[in-house]
Amino acid sequence: MRTRKSHLLLVYLTLNLIAFCGMFVQAAHQRSASQAVLQRNRTLVRQLGLTDLCLFTDARYTRHPAMADLHTPFQDYPMSFEHFPSGSLMPPPPHLRSHGAH
Amino acid sequence: MARIERQKRIIDFTLSSLLRRKGKNLALIAAYSWIVFLLASVLFITEAIRREAGLVLQDAPEIIVQRLVAGRQESIPVAYGEKIKTITGVRSVKGRLWGYYYDPTNGANYTLVVEEDRLKEAGRVIIGEGVARNVVGESYGTMPFVGYDGAYYFFEVAETLPADSSLVAADLIIVSATDFRALFGIAESLVTDIVVEVRNPREFETIAAKIKAMLPDTRPVLRDEILRTYDTLFDWRGGLIVIILLGSLMAFIIFAWDKATGLSAEEKREIGILKALGWETADVLMIKFWEGATVSLLAFFNGVLLAYAHVFLTESSLFEPVLKGWSVLYPRFALTPYINAYQLWALFFLTVVPYTVATIIPSWRAAIIDPDSVMRT
C-alpha cells in the first residue's frame, strides 16, 4: 500500500512534538544536574564578594556593568565614542539610567 | 471518522500542491526556519543568562560603597569604613581590593581579586579557567606581572578554579593583599571599595541614603541594583539585539506581505479549477489553511529545535564571534537551559499564527470570485 502524504506529515509533526517534549525533559535534567555547580558558584560569589558575571572581558564597563559609572565607556576622552563590540550588547545598568548615582 | 478522512484528503492535496512548487516552498521553509532559529536563540540565551545571574548573584554583597572623584571611581580610604560602621543597623564593613590587569603578552584583561581567607601567602595566585586556557606561563607554574613601577613579579600558580565556574570566574586571578598592593602601588590606607552588611534587609535603602548623606563623595550600589542590571541584560530595545530582531521582523513582514498581497497566477488558476470542479469556498480555504499551517509549523519546529541545540548543546557557537567581541578571555557559554512554555507560546503566536492567517486572506479573495473569470485572468 502506498504511504499517504498526510500520514508522512503527521508522523513528521509527531516526531517533532516528541523532540519538543524531549527538549523540556533534557532541560529539566540538565537543570537538576547543574544544581551543584550553581551552588559552588554561589559560594564563590559570596566568598570573593563578586558582583558580576564574567560575560565580556574586553571593556571594564561590560566586565563589571553593575560597578560601572557613566564615564567608563568614554574613558579615553569626553567625546570618544564607545567602541567595544560588547558595549552594543549590554546597556547601562538601570541604576545609572534612572537617577544617575545615588 | 468521515471528517478526519476528509481532512486527510485535503492535506494530501495540499502537500501535492506544495510539492509542485518544491523549490520555492523549500526556500520559504528554510528562510522562515532561520528567522525562528534566530529569534529562539536570542530568547533562549538571554533567558538562560538572566536566570543564572539571578541565582548566582543572590549572594553578591548587600551594599558596595564606591568613592567617585570627578565622576570616576577611585580608591576609597579605609577610614570611610570606620565612619560607616557607626551607622545604626550596619552589621559589618569590609574593604575590597580588586582591579584589572592588562597582560601585554596576550592582550588579555584579568580581574585581580584579593581574598585573604583563601590566599594568605604572598607570591602565589589562584587563576580562573579562562586564564589557564590562555596563559602560556601557566604550564610552567608561574605567571609574570609588571608592577606600577615597572618591576617584574613572578607569582606561582597555586590552583586553577574549576572549569564550570567559568561564568563567574573565567578571568579571575586571586592574589594576596600584599601582592596586590605591591603590584598596583596602593597604600595601606586605601581599598578599592567597601562592602557593607546590614542587619535588616529592609533597611538597605535607608542605610544607603545615610551613607550618601554622611559621605557625599561616595556611591552606594545595592544588591537589588546588581540583580536588576542582569534583568535588563541584552535589552531588546538596545544595541545589536534590536538589529537582529528588526532584521528578522522585516524578513518576516516581507513573507507575510508577499502572501497577503495576492496569489500567483498559477495559484489563482488552481483555485478557479477547483471551484469549477465543484469545490466549496470553505474547502479552498481549508487547503490554504493547511498550506500555511504546514509551512509555518515545519519552520517553527525546525527553528526552535535547532536553536535549542545551538544554544545549549553547542554553546551558542554561531553567536560566538558576537559574544566574544574583542575579548581575549571569554567564558564557555555552557548555559543551563531555562525554557518555559510561555516563551514558546509567545514565539508560536508571533510567527505561526500571522503567517497562517496571511495565507488565508488572499485565497478567500480569490475563492469568492467567479471561477470562470479567475481562470481567464
| pLDDT for the residue B153 | 92
The nearest CA of chain B is from the CA of A85 a distance in Å of 5
The residue count for chain B:
377
Size of interface A-B (CB pairs under 8 A): 226
- List the Cα angle B5/B10/B11 in 5-degree steps: 95
Using CB atoms, pick whichever of B221, B326, B328 lies closest to residue A85.
Answer: B326
pLDDT above 60: residue A99? no
| pLDDT for the residue B138 | 54
Query: A70 and chain B: CB distance < 8 Å anywhere?
Result: yes
What are the pLDDT digits (tens) for B318-340?
A: 888 887 778 888 787 788 999 88
| pLDDT for the residue A21 | 93
The nearest CA of chain B is from the CA of A70 a distance in Å of 8
Question: Which chain A residues are Cβ-neighbours of B64 within 8 angstroms?
Answer: 51, 67
B335 closest CA partner among A37, A90, A25: A37
Query: A27 and chain B: CB distance < 8 Å anywhere?
Result: yes
Q: Average pLDDT of B212-233?
A: 90
**ipTM over cut 0.95:** no
Q: Test B56 with A37 for CB contact under 8 angstroms.
A: no
Alpha-carbon span B6 to A85, nearest angstrom: 56
Could you tell me which chain A residue has the CA closest to the CA of B109? A57
| pLDDT for the residue B362 | 77
What are the pLDDT digits (tens) for A73-97?
A: 666 666 667 778 787 777 778 777 7
| pLDDT for the residue A90 | 78
Using CB atoms, pick whichever of B174, B234, B305 lies closest to residue A23.
Answer: B305
Lowest mean pLDDT among A2-11, A13-22, B267-276: B267-276
With bands split at pLDDT 50, 70 and 90, how would you rate the model's confidence at B76? very high
* Residue B170: DSSP 8-state: T
What are the pLDDT digits (tens) for B94-120?
A: 999 999 999 888 888 999 999 888 777
What is the DSSP pairing of strand B108-114 with strand B172-175?
parallel
CB neighbour list of residue B98: distance below 8 Å, 6 or more residues apart: B111, B112, B113, B114, B192
Query: A90 and chain B: CB distance < 8 Å anywhere?
Result: yes
The nearest CA of chain A is from the CA of B241 a distance in Å of 7
Could you give the 3-state DSSP secondary structure of residue B123? coil
Question: Which chain A residues are Cβ-neighbours of B12 within 8 angstroms?
Answer: 4-6
pLDDT above 80: residue B244? no
What are the pLDDT digits (tens) for B27-65?
A: 888 988 988 998 899 889 888 988 999 999 999 999 999
| pLDDT for the residue B237 | 59
Q: Test B61 with A94 for CB contact under 8 angstroms.
A: no
What are the pLDDT digits (tens) for B112-166?
A: 999 888 777 888 999 998 898 887 655 668 888 999 999 999 999 988 999 889 8
pLDDT above 80: residue B304? yes
> Contact at 8 Å (CB) between B83 and B214?
yes
Phi-psi region of B189 (alpha: psi -120 to 50; beta: other; left: phi over 0): alpha
| pLDDT for the residue A50 | 93
* Residue A57: DSSP 8-state: -
Query: A74 and chain B: CB distance < 8 Å anywhere?
Result: no
Residue B234's φ and ψ, nearest 5 degrees, are: 50, 40
Higher pLDDT: B239 or B145? It is B145
| pLDDT for the residue B140 | 64
Alpha-carbon span B267 to B157, nearest angstrom: 71
**Cα separations in angstroms, B56 against A49, B53, B368:** 12, 5, 60
Domain spans, chain B: 2-56+233-376, 61-231
Could you tell me which chain A residue has the CA closest to the CA of B58? A42
Could you tell me which chain B residue has the CA closest to the CA of A50? B60
Alpha-carbon span B306 to B313, nearest angstrom: 10
With bands split at pLDDT 50, 70 and 90, how would you rate the model's confidence at A101? very low
Q: Average pLDDT of A56-77?
A: 79
| pLDDT for the residue A102 | 45
Half-sphere exposure of B218 (CA within 13 A, CB side): 30
Using CB atoms, pick whichever of A23, A38, A48 lies closest to residue B113.
Answer: A48
| pLDDT for the residue B238 | 57
| pLDDT for the residue A20 | 92
The b-or-e profile of B288-308 (16+ CB within 10 A means b, else e) is bbbbbbbbbbbbbbbbbbbbb
The whole-chain average pLDDT of chain B stands at 86
| pLDDT for the residue B261 | 66
Lowest mean pLDDT among B92-96, B171-175, B232-236, B369-373: B232-236
Q: Cell 550618601 sits at which residue?
A: B212
Percent of chain B with pLDDT over 70: 93
